[in-house]
Every structure is written in structure tokens, then in C-alpha cells.
Amino acid sequence: MKDKIEHILHEVENFVAESKEQVEEYRIKWLSKKGQITGLFDEFKTVGPDLKKEFGQKLNELRNKAQEKINVLKEKYESLHSSSDKQIDLTIPGDPSVAIGSRHPISIVRNKITELFSRIGFTVSDGREIEDDWHNFSALNTPENHPARDMQDTFYVETPNIVLRTQTSSVQVHIMQNTKPPIRTISPGRVYRNEAISARAHCQFHQVEGLYIDKGVSFADLKQTMLYFSKEMFGADTKIRLRPSYFPFTEPSAEMDISCTLCKGEGCNVCKHTGWVEILGCGMVDPQVLENCGIDSKIYTGFAFGMGIERVTMLKYQVNDIRLYFENDIRFLKQFSSAI
């Protein structure tokens, strides 16, 4: 056994590898489960007690030297490989066969909406998706047992007072509580409602809600802002129509339609042959909401609006199924590779 140890030790000390593959070959030869050094440890079990100390030290020395030699040679060839990588000419044109990625259509439209309102002085506000009941409902004129709560199917988290936000209006409540007017902000984000998933509805979707509070803000300011947005988003020929509606946090309230982008107002299946497509809700902020958030409603007025980004995207790109936005189907997403 002594001769075997000395023979392998001599081989380890004189070993010179010519490639990374050869280093691995000798690692397997010496140190694998069926390697020569591992075999010597099996033989060591049969050595007499008086020789165990001597042979044990020599075996450990052999194994350590072999492992050290393998590590040094591995590091050498890995460093050579990384050095060759650094010598790549980065000025060479890229491989044209590599497909170019694209932004998600929801991201494209969200960025466009943000850019349009930024032009006229609106800042962007963000907030948490898990919200307390007061910010999501009560501060917005929908206290407990109010019939308006039936308009939204809510996901409750842990306790009855913690919810997944059903609207980004909750962000606006935080803004009104912590910011002195004038306030001019939009709040894009993801919201959740306990709805059956279909071509027209989903349990999660994206909203952009806007808020403008200052002295002397009127419904005319709201209408002009919505007209500006519609023309910039859908084209200069786009018309808008405001219809009376109800929202607990605005009074008066309105639903806004735009002239159908497909038939140009002449009537088609998308607009149900009316020439109009509903796009968002809006209205003047209810004075009680201002008071709930610590803003004097006798001095300040304001307007608010909210729209679903999926809805705007469906109209802009003529998508007929909201589920496509969440399925990550590459065939669908590739169509937006040239979108800005």
C-alpha cells in the first residue's frame, strides 16, 4: 500500500494538464467515488492498528495535494476562458437572427397615458395594493352597509377591515390627507375585484385615476381635460359624450363615451351600432370626500376621473379579449414589438 501511495503522489506532483477536459479526466481518475485515492481509503480499513497512524497521514496528504493540484489547474483554465471572452470585439453588429423583445401592451398604454397627463401638469402617485377599509371605501363616501359597496366585489385579506384595493382612488385619499391644495395627480396601478374571468372582465386589472383640486375648479375644466386626453390618445377627430351617472365619491357624476375608433361613429358591432364606446367615469369631487380628507370644501373644489387601462388598450389596438393581456402568449405579444 505504501508503494501505491508513493506512485500516485509522484504522478500528482508531476501532472501537467493541457486542457480543462484533461483536468476533469484526472479528477475523476483520482478523487471520484471509484478513483484511485478513494480506493486506497477502502484498503486502509484492512491496515493493522500499528500502521494506521502512518498510512492515515500519508493518505490525507495525498488527497489534499491531489485536490489542491486540481483546483489550481481548474482556476488556470477558467481564467484563460474569461480572458478570451473579454477580447470579444463589442463593435461587431449583433446577430440579426436574435428576436427583439417588446413592451407589454398594458405598459405601452400606461406610459402613454402618464405622458399625456404629465404635459398638462399632472404628477404620478403610487400606493399600496393592500389597503384598509377606510381609505378604500369609507373616505370615499361608501361607509359600511352603504348600497354602493354592492357595485364592487371585494377580496378581503385577513380581517374584514383589510382588502385588496378595488380602485386606485385609495391613493388619492392618501394624497389629499398629506398634501395641501392645489393637487393635480394621476394614480396608475393594479386593482382587484372578485369577478368571474371572461373576455370582458378579470379579477385583476389596471386603472388610472386622476384628481385635480384647487380654488375655482369647475365641470368645464373636467370636460376640457377629458377632450384633450381623448384626442391625444385616439386621434384628433375623436369626439366625446358625457352621460349622467352615479359614483359615491363624485357629484355630479358622468360616464364618458368616445366616438368609436373602428367605425368612426357610423356604427359597428364593437359600439353596438351606436357610434359610441364607453371609456371612463368622472365627476366633481363630492364635498364630503374633501372634508373626510381634511380639505375645506368651502374653499376648494375639484374633479376626479378613472379609467381601465385594459379598456383603453382594447380600443386602441382593437383587442377583443381581456384575458390575452395575462396569458403571456408570445404570438400575441410579438404584435407589439414595433409599438412605442
Across the 340 residues of the chain, what is the mean pLDDT of every consecutive 10-residue run?
74 78 78 76 72 74 80 77 60 72 87 94 92 88 73 74 88 93 94 84 90 96 95 90 93 92 72 85 95 94 94 84 87 74
d(CA 288, CA 139) in angstroms, rounded, equals: 9
- Look up residue 260 and give its three cell numbers: 368609436
- Phi and psi angles of residue 181, each rounded to the nearest 5 degrees, phi first: -60, 155
With CA atoms as reference, report the closest residue to 154 among 176, 171, 168, 136: 136
With CA atoms as reference, report the closest residue to 253 among 231, 280, 228: 280
Q: Where are the alpha helices (DSSP H) in the chain?
A: 2-14, 20-31, 36-44, 49-86, 105-118, 133-136, 169-178, 219-234, 287-292, 309-317, 330-333
CATH of region 105-336: 3.30.930.10
What confidence score (pLDDT) does residue 322 get? 86
Beta partners for residue 285, in sequence order: 250
- Phi and psi angles of residue 199, each rounded to the nearest 5 degrees, phi first: -65, -25
State the number of CA atoms in the 13 A half-sphere of 47 facing the CB: 17
- Look up residue 24 and give its three cell numbers: 476533469
The residue ranges of every structural domain in the chain are 2-86, 105-336
3-state helix, strand, coil in the chain (%, to 5): 45, 20, 35
- Look up residue 222 and give its three cell numbers: 373636467
Amino acid at 115: E
d(CA 62, CA 210) in angstroms, rounded, equals: 74
- Look up residue 9 and give its three cell numbers: 503522489
Q: What Cα–Cα distance (Å) separates residue 160 from each residue in 133, 150, 156, 181?
A: 8, 15, 6, 32
What confidence score (pLDDT) does residue 304 get? 96
Biggest CA pair distance of the chain = 104
d(CA 44, CA 52) in angstroms, rounded, equals: 7
What's the predicted TM-score (pTM) here? 0.66
What confidence score (pLDDT) does residue 1 get? 66
Cα R_g (the chain), whole angstroms: 35
Rounded to 10 deg, the angle between the 49-86 and 2-14 helix axes is: 20
Amino acid at 209: E
Rounded to 10 deg, the angle between the 2-14 and 36-44 helix axes is: 160
